[in-house]
Structure 1
Amino acid sequence: MLHILPETAGDIIVLQATGTLTSEDYQETFIPLIEEKTAAHQKVRCLIYLDPDFKGWQAGAMWEDAKLGTRHGNDFIRLAVVGGGNWLDWAVKISAAFITGEAKHFSESQFLQALHWIDEA
Structure 2
Amino acid sequence: MTKETNKTVAAETIVENLKEFAVELNKAAKAGEIASLIEGDKDSFLLAKISHDISNGLAYILQGKSADVALEQIFGDEEDEEDGTTLGSIAVNIKTGDAKGIENIKDPKIRKQLAEAVQKLADKLGGK
Q: TM-score, normalised by structure 1?
A: 0.31
Query: Whose RCO is larger (CA < 8 A, sep 6+)?
Result: 1
Question: Which one has the largest radius of gyration?
Answer: 2
**Going by fraction, where is strand more abundant, 1 or 2?**
1
**Going by fraction, where is helix more abundant, 1 or 2?**
2
